[in-house]
Amino acid sequence: MSTLFVLLQYIVPQHLISYLAGKLADGRLFKNQLIRIFVKRYNVDLSESKIEDIHQFKNFNAFFTRELTPGARPAANVSGAILCPADGAISQLGAISNNLLQAKSRFFSLEALLGGESNLAAQFQEGCFATVYLSPRDYHRVHMPLGGRLHKMIYIPGRLFSVNQATARRIPNLFARNERVVCLFHTDAGAMAVILVGAMIVSGIETIWSGQVGTTAGTGAIRSTDYSEHSPPIEIARGSEMGRFKLGSTVIVLFAHGAITLEPDLKAQTPVRMGQLLGRINGVDANAKNTV
């Protein structure tokens, strides 16, 4: 069944399906029925949501990108903490060479992931990465692992393959083929990239500074926006929201060589929540409390 699902993705009109799904999710037609079915099918916990009554959501996308109640995702309180950017499960994590691990025995190119920019890829060579897969039931806002100043955003058009484990195991270079938004920050740990990867039926990727990014049309050139001279600077605190998915997907974070150490207990398929400890900045006293 998994093989058939993967093969079908090569055939179906991915962007048209995602466009139509987006129109339905942005409308009010059948929105209560859709939300009710979705909550039951994926066992969504609305007790964490600021809005618990499904009738109060403007549309399905408002439900899907729902805000949580204050304190629902406390941030790890240790000095130099690197926070998990989203709810979901670790897809893969570890060291970066020229490639990143996608699934068992399957890798993809760091340079291709970053839109072919070799100078940018060099900043993260020999560093580390973590890939977090957001399932349909998860909270779909993405938060900053570490406070930083936005330097550049790169929109890279591409395919919209599903990003679940079955697809990741079978489709080569999956994350370097799908539509994605690369957000580059200057942080206390040096360069940090937060990459929001689109997927089948993801009707939009948004950032807090630019709104919806891309057209999900699958065509066109890579678009790069320089924010290094933006006035005032776009600075986002650790744990603050930086973007969101209108329907699920994957987040990849990259750090430079020697900058951080990932938590040793994390491995592929480990469930995670936004705000829990993903790693620590190297050279910071691990026993000290976080004062930021």
pLDDT digits (tens, 9 = 90+) for 257-282: 999 999 999 999 999 999 999 999 99
Q: Residue 114: is its pLDDT beyond 60? A: yes
Residue 43 lies in a domain: yes
Q: pLDDT tens across 133-173, in order?
A: 998 889 999 999 999 999 999 999 988 777 777 777 778 78
Q: If 0-12 CB within 10 Å is exposed, 13-18 middle and 19+ buried, where does residue 37 land?
A: exposed
Total domain count, the chain: 2
Shared-domain flag, residues 17 and 145: no
Shared-domain flag, residues 25 and 96: no
DSSP letter at 177 equals H
Band of residue 291 on the pLDDT scale cut at 50, 70, 90:
very low
On the question of a cis peptide bond just before residue 172, with omega within 30 degrees of 0, the verdict is no
Shared-domain flag, residues 109 and 156: yes
- For the ranges 38-42, 131-135, 202-206, 252-256, the lowest mean pLDDT is seen at 202-206
Shared-domain flag, residues 100 and 235: yes
Q: Residue 75: is its pLDDT beyond 90? A: yes
Positions marked catalytic: 87, 143, 249
Band of residue 216 on the pLDDT scale cut at 50, 70, 90:
very low
Mean pLDDT of 60-78: 93
Mean pLDDT of 75-93: 95
Shared-domain flag, residues 20 and 157: no
Predicted local confidence at residue 292, as pLDDT: 34
Predicted local confidence at residue 26, as pLDDT: 80
Q: pLDDT tens across 7-33, in order?
A: 776 676 666 767 776 777 788 888 999
Residue 288 lies in a domain: no
Residue 69 lies in a domain: no
Predicted local confidence at residue 70, as pLDDT: 92
Band of residue 103 on the pLDDT scale cut at 50, 70, 90:
confident
Residue 287 lies in a domain: no
Mean pLDDT of 196-225: 78
Band of residue 189 on the pLDDT scale cut at 50, 70, 90:
very high
Residues 6+ apart with CB under 8 A from 64: 25, 140, 246, 247
Last residue of a domain, one of 16, 36, 64: 64
Mean pLDDT of 39-63: 93
Residue 174 lies in a domain: yes
For residue 246, what are the domain limits? 81-281
- Other Cβ atoms less than 10 A from the Cβ of 36: the count is 13
Last residue of a domain, one of 13, 35, 64: 64
Residue 286 lies in a domain: no
Shared-domain flag, residues 192 and 226: yes
Shared-domain flag, residues 139 and 257: yes
The answer to whether 275 and 87 have CB atoms below 8 angstroms apart is no
Residue 291 lies in a domain: no
Q: What is the pTM of this model?
A: 0.90
Band of residue 226 on the pLDDT scale cut at 50, 70, 90:
very high
Last residue of a domain, one of 32, 64, 96: 64
Q: Residue 90: is its pLDDT beyond 70? A: yes
With residue 176 as reference, give the H or E element that holds it. helix 174-177
Q: Over pLDDT 70: what percentage of the chain?
A: 88
Residue 72 lies in a domain: no
Per-residue CA distances from 146 to 70, 83, 196, 223, 286 (Å): 19, 7, 16, 25, 16
Shared-domain flag, residues 28 and 171: no
Predicted local confidence at residue 10, as pLDDT: 64
